[in-house]
């Protein structure tokens, strides 16, 4: 077998075919690597690999068409057929030669993630999983080409048939969607779908099911090739008859084994066969969700409004895998896919809303929860192109919230205070309250004598005008009796808010007299009033503690004053270099400071030195609590996007903490899983060096070497 492998492998590079295979593969990869990774600064090669899978339609027929067909055409296959080497080893030796040829460009590609790592944060695991899938896909296609070459003595026919078989496997998923998977042709095409298993790897999932599929295809093709050769090896009638029976039995056994292996692998729960290798763990449920599922005691059905086979986009694959995890996480959860084209009245039985493909309907008894498809993903509009871009997955957050909602007997209610020109909370943060299964109601003290008894918490967001004495008394009484309040302050308020600050001081929190400016270059963004504080590790901030985690623009400083019966927790703090600019406590002065680059931030006599608390939690003995944040601007969509959604996580964690203890134990504040938006910083020199090297120089060099070798051999 070693001699056959050596002869076959060298034959690829003594002619032009091996060099052509390497050149085409690497020139295409170099082109897309330059576009995606060097120009667009994407930190993964999966996009480039996905873009060149079509190349196997050309390169595999070129490389495999002569493996058996040319020997048979030139009548030299008799040397192989009469050799003492078993046919299986002959086939395996030739296939290993093909596999090693395919391995050469893969090894070159394996260097590129390390090149990208020079210019930013790169997940090596995720890149190599994509590369593994690409290699296995190529290995399976080479096995198909090898089998076709064993069937004929015409190399052109072998190339054309190989192309057609690979092409059918390339488009089979689209064909299945057109003709349906319930019919026999659809089922057969579904089994011959090469692209869907490959996409598992490109989306960062190490799938044992897909590995088993590609390996079973390889084994099947090699066995079929061996049987074809065996049919030609023997010429005696008796042997031919017995061999025919043997071949038929072998082929049937291998076919049954291939189907059986893939059937068994697909029946194993995905948590044992699919491993999430993405940096952000897009397909993995959090410990909080797993805890909720383990305590679930109600039957819940999740209806996904789509044909499962049609969910093929990257974000739809994340949805499918996430729903699989929910179905496996609890015996009380059932996941069903509904084709609304075949069942158009299904949605109307649950809601009057018009729902897009991929929307979810969760049902438990008489209660339902609708999750529109657009709520499962976080998007933003690119200001340069005005196109909507996907920035994060909120699938787990929304589904876990819905499950908690359906499992709860009684829901919490957060009262949003009005009557003092409060600013309206932005859409992202309003949806966060919905995810916490907290209903919201407006609270106006002109109409209410006290905070309602069913209030789980009171939210006070950026009041612009001051409170009355009566308002302050109502809030004080509420907190003293165990009530819980969330406060976000606006430094640009239109009134001094003296009485409202008295309420905060009664809880032990003193509000500063001006905006905080950070003089440490590492702890502000663009402007010294745009703070990047250190987040302390607390019960609220455990998952976002550390440096540069949240964004607090235009914040007031806070101070905890010793108060009997009150304990304080600092949530975040500036550095010692920060100062409180007392002249900047109104809209006019701050607007001027933000627009005028000549404004001095040197400490002046009336300025106070840091460090300053920017968020404090005060709790009394009756479990009353007041959480105060110095910046209301932190809880806006624009500022939240600056730190990949971590401000929303801070808000969700704080509100979850403030909810009553019994509700808090059941409430999950699952943050949005942001896409890896930390792009690479690739300079022009790197683009020229690596782009030209990968896309032009190396492929051209390989082709030139191949041509030179061919010319030299012909002259000899």
Identify the pLDDT of residue 716.
64
- Burial track 69-89 (b if 16+ CB lie within 10 A, e otherwise): bbbbeeeebeebbeeeeebbe
Q: Quick check: is 401 in a domain?
A: no
pLDDT for position 664: 43
Number of domains in the chain: 3
Q: Do 189 and 310 belong to one domain?
A: no
Taking alpha carbons only, the member of 359, 346, 364, 341 closest to residue 395 is 359
Which residue spans within 407-476 are E strands per DSSP?
Answer: 412-418, 438-444, 457-461
Exposure of 595 by Cβ count < 10 A (0-12 exposed, 13-18 middle, 19+ buried)?
exposed
Say yes or no: 497 and 549 in one domain.
yes
Q: Reply yes or no on whether the pLDDT at 177 is more than 90.
A: no
* Average pLDDT of the chain, as a whole number: 85
With 0-12 / 13-18 / 19 or more C-beta atoms within 10 angstroms meaning exposed / middle / buried, residue 645 is buried
Given 373, 401, 426, the domain boundary residue is 373
Q: What is the mean pLDDT of residues 312-338?
A: 90
Residue 605 lies in a domain: no
**Same-domain status, 152 and 256:** yes
Say which CATH number the domain at 304 has.
Answer: 3.40.30.10
Are 238 and 366 in the same domain?
no
The answer, yes or no, to whether residue 621 has pLDDT greater than 70, is yes
Please give the angle made by the CA atoms of 105, 692 and 128, to the nearest 5 degrees. Answer: 35
| Tens of pLDDT, residues 391-409 | 788 899 889 988 988 888 7
Structure tokens at 552: 């607090």
Structural domain contains residue 392 = no
Q: Is residue 214 part of a domain?
A: yes
Asked if 71 and 159 sit in the same domain, the reply is yes
Report the CATH number at residue 497. 3.40.50.880
What lies within 8 Å, CB to CB, of 587 at 6+ separation is: 492, 494
Dihedral (CA of 661, 667, 669, 670) sign: positive
Direct distance between the N- and C-terminal alpha carbons of the chain, in angstroms, rounded to an integer: 29
Q: Tell me which of 26 and 82 has the higher pLDDT.
A: 26
Please give the share of the chain, as a percent, with pLDDT higher than 90.
Answer: 33
pLDDT at 663 over 50: no
Query: Distance between CA atoms of 256 and 259, rounded to whole angstroms?
Result: 5
pLDDT of residue 335 exceeding 90, the answer is yes
Kindly state the average pLDDT of the residues 365-387: 80
345-357 residue pLDDT tens: 898 889 888 888 9
Please say if the pLDDT value at position 236 is more than 50. Answer: no
Residue 403 lies in a domain: no
Region 155-166 average pLDDT: 92
Same-domain status, 508 and 644:
yes
342 domain-assigned: yes
Whether residues 304 and 366 share a domain: the answer is yes
Task: Identify the residue with better confidence: 188 or 242.
Answer: 188
Evaluate whether residue 385 is within a structural domain.
no
Residue 586 lies in a domain: no
52 pLDDT more than 50: yes
641 or 113, greater pLDDT: 113
Helices (H), 83-193: 87-110, 112-117, 124-149, 155-179, 184-191
Quote the CA–CA distance of 449 and 440 in Å, as a whole number. Answer: 19
Confidence at residue 241, expressed as pLDDT on a 0 to 100 scale = 47
Q: What is the mean pLDDT of residues 414-427?
A: 90
Judge contact between 398 and 652, C-beta under 8 A.
Answer: no
Domain limit, last residue, from 354, 373, 392: 373
Q: Which of 302-306, 590-594, 652-656, 665-669 has the lowest mean pLDDT?
A: 665-669
Domain span at residue 356 reads 287-373
Separation of alpha carbons 288 and 398, rounded Å: 13
Q: Do 701 and 655 belong to one domain?
A: no
Query: Which CA distances in Å does 645 have to 46, 532, 568, 716?
Result: 25, 14, 26, 68
259 and 323 in one domain?
A: no
Task: Work out the pLDDT band at 237, boundaries 50, 70, 90.
Answer: very low
Report, in angstroms and rounded to the nearest whole number, the Rg of the chain calculated over CA atoms: 33
Question: Following DSSP, what letter does each residue of 14-57 receive, concatenated?
Answer: HSSHHHHHHHHHHHHHHHHHIIIIIIS--S-SHHHHHHTGGGHH
Is the four-CA dihedral 346, 350, 356, 360 of positive or negative sign?
Answer: negative
pLDDT at position 667 is 56
* Same domain (yes/no): 67, 163: yes
Q: How far apart are CA 269 and CA 189, in angstroms?
A: 24
Per-residue pLDDT for 701 more than 50?
Answer: yes
Are 162 and 82 in the same domain? yes
90 and 227 together in one domain: yes
Angle at 224 between CA 220 and CA 227, to 5 degrees: 140
Do residues 555 and 517 make contact, with C-beta atoms less than 8 angstroms apart? Answer: no
Q: How confident is the model at residue 494 (pLDDT cuts 50, 70, 90)?
A: low
């Amino acid at each position: 077998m070693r001699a056959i492998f050596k002869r076959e492998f060298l034959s690829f590079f003594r002619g032009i075919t091996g060099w052509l295979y390497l050149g085409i593969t690497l020139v295409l990869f170099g082109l897309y690597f330059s576009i995606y990774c060097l120009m667009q600064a994407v930190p993964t090669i999966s996009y480039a690999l996905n873009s060149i899978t079509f190349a196997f339609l050309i390169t595999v027929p070129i490389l495999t068409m002569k493996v058996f067909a040319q020997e048979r055409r030139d009548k030299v296959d008799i040397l192989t057929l009469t050799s003492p080497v078993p046919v299986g080893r002959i086939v395996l030796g030739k296939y290993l030669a093909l596999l090693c040829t395919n391995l050469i460009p893969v090894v070159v590609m394996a260097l590129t993630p390390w090149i990208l790592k020079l210019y930013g944060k790169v997940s090596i695991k995720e890149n190599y999983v994509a590369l593994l899938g690409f290699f296995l896909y190529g290995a399976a296609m080479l096995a198909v080409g090898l089998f076709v070459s064993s069937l004929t003595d015409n190399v052109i026919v072998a190339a054309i048939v190989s192309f057609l078989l690979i092409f059918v496997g390339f488009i089979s998923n689209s064909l299945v969607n057109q003709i349906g998977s319930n019919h026999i042709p659809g089922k057969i095409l579904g089994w011959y779908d090469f692209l869907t298993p490959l996409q598992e790897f490109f989306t960062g999932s190490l799938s044992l099911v897909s590995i088993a599929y590609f390996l079973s295809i390889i084994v099947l093709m090699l066995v079929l090739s061996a049987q074809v050769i065996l049919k030609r090896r023997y010429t005696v009638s008796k042997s031919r008859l017995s061999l025919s029976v043997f071949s038929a039995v072998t082929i049937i056994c291998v076919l049954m084994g291939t189907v059986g292996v893939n059937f068994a692998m697909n029946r194993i729960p995905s948590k044992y066969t699919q491993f999430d290798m993405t940096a952000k763990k897009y397909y993995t449920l959090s410990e909080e969700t797993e805890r909720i599922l383990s305590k679930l005691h109600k039957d819940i059905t999740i209806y996904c409004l789509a044909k499962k086979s049609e969910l093929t986009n990257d974000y739809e694959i994340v949805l499918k895998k996430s729903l699989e995890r929910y179905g496996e996480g609890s015996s009380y959860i059932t996941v069903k896919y509904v084709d609304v084209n075949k069942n158009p009245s299904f949605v109307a039985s649950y809601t009057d809303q018009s729902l897009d493909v991929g929307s979810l309907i969760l049902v438990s008894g008489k209660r339902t929860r609708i999750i529109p498809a657009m709520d499962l993903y976080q998007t933003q509009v690119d200001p340069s192109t005005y196109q909507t871009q996907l920035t994060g997955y909120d699938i787990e957050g929304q589904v876990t919230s819905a499950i908690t909602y359906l499992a709860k007997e009684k829901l919490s209610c957060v009262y949003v205070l009005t009557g003092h020109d409060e600013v309206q909370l932005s859409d992202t943060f309003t949806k966060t309250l919905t995810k916490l299964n907290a209903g919201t109601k407006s609270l106006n003290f002109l109409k209410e004598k006290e905070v309602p008894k069913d209030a789980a918490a009171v939210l006070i967001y950026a009041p612009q005008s001051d409170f009355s004495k009566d308002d302050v008394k109502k809030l004080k009484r509420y907190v003293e009796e165990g009530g819980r309040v969330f406060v976000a302050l606006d430094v640009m308020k239109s009134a001094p808010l003296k009485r409202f600050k008295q309420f905060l001081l009664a809880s032990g929190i003193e509000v500063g007299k001006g905006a905080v400016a950070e003089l440490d270059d590492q702890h502000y963004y663009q402007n010294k009033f745009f703070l990047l504080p250190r987040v302390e590790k607390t019960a609220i901030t455990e998952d976002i503690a550390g440096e540069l985690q949240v964004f607090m623009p235009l914040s007031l400083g806070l101070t905890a004053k010793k108060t009997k019966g009150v304990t304080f927790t600092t949530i975040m703090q500036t550095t010692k270099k920060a100062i409180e600019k007392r002249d900047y406590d109104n809209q006019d002065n701050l607007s001027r400071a933000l627009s005028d680059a000549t404004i001095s931030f040197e400490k002046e006599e009336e300025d106070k030195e840091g460090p300053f608390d920017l968020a404090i939690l005060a709790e009394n003995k009756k479990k009353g609590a007041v959480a105060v944040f110095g910046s209301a601007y932190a809880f806006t969509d624009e500022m939240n996007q600056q730190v990949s959604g971590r401000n929303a996580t801070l808000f969700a964690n704080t509100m979850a903490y403030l909810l009553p203890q019994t509700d808090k134990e059941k409430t999950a504040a699952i943050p949005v899983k942001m896409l890896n938006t930390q792009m690479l910083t690739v300079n022009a020199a790197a683009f020229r060096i690596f782009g030209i090297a990968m896309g032009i120089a190396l492929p051209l060099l390989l082709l030139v070497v191949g041509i030179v070798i061919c010319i030299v051999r012909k002259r000899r």
